[in-house]
Amino acid sequence: MKKLLIANWKSHKTLSEVSAWMDSFESKFSKSLLAKHVDIAIAPTEAYLAQFSNEMHAELSLAAQDVSPFPVGKYTGATAASQLASLGVKYAIVGHSERRRYFSEDNTQVANKVRQCVEAGIIPIVCVDDEYVSTQAAAIDSEYHSKCIIAYEALSAIGSGNNMDAAHVAEVTKLINDVFGEVPVLYGGSVNAGNVAEYAEISDGWLVGTASLKVDDFWALALAVSNL
């Protein structure tokens, strides 16, 4: 199975920066064989999803950084999963620790977001941490577990430059598979071209923040993944 690499840009980049990144990345990507070896998804700020949906290379996928816990309707400011799907969004990151921390997202909302995604045909990438994985899993209706990709996001490793020890990632990945079943499990937390090989035998892919912001860093990471 191909590894999945997701560029999570968080709240970075203006429209001109987004366009410049994409032009530069796609000119390398279209001349390469990368698509044969690695699945790449880009998660820009929601405001730029439509732009990407119109212009993106057909072999790259689009991911949303969040999704509404509600269907379409009277929910000012929210973007429903079906609206994301109509833009060609394939994945939605759900329950990222920054959403939980800064936007008070709780397990019930995460569960509702998962349901909305699955019903709209979007694959939820559910972020969990090691300490609460059982509770986080229990909150999600078990009928949806097999439809999820789970991302183990090591809190101390996110944005810190200190990636988590591979043995620990292996332990948590096993725990995740025990509670969610045999779903793909990603790792996130200071992953870059220099350390991704440590997780080659453990993870089905990686959720990448910092090392996705510069084209050269992300390109080097994608190449490293394609050589695993």
Q: Where in the sequence numbering do the catalytic residues fall?
A: 96, 153
By CB under 6 A, is residue 159 in contact with ligand PGA?
yes
- Binding positions for ligand PGA, 16-45, rule CB under 6 A: none
Helix (H, G, I), strand (E, B) or coil at 148: coil
Binding status of residue 210 toward ligand PGA by CB under 6 A: yes
Binding map of ligand PGA across residues 95-114, x = CB under 6 A, - = no contact? --------------------
Report in angstroms how near the CB of residue 82 gets to ligand PGA at its nearest. Answer: 25
Cβ 37 vs Cβ 1: under 8 Å: no
Which contacts (CB < 8 Å, 24+ apart) does range 169-172 have?
169/199, 169/202, 169/203, 170/202, 172/130, 172/133
From candidates 209, 221, 225, 226, binder to ligand PGA by CB under 6 A: 209
Which residues in 44-73 contact ligand PGA (CB under 6 A)?
Answer: none
The residue (of 8 and 203) whose beta carbon lies closer to ligand PGA is: 8
Residue 121 main-chain phi, psi, to 5 deg:
80, 20
**H/E segment holding residue 23:** helix 15-30
Query: What are 46's two structure tokens?
Result: 């929601």
Least separation in angstroms between residue 225's CB and ligand PGA is 14
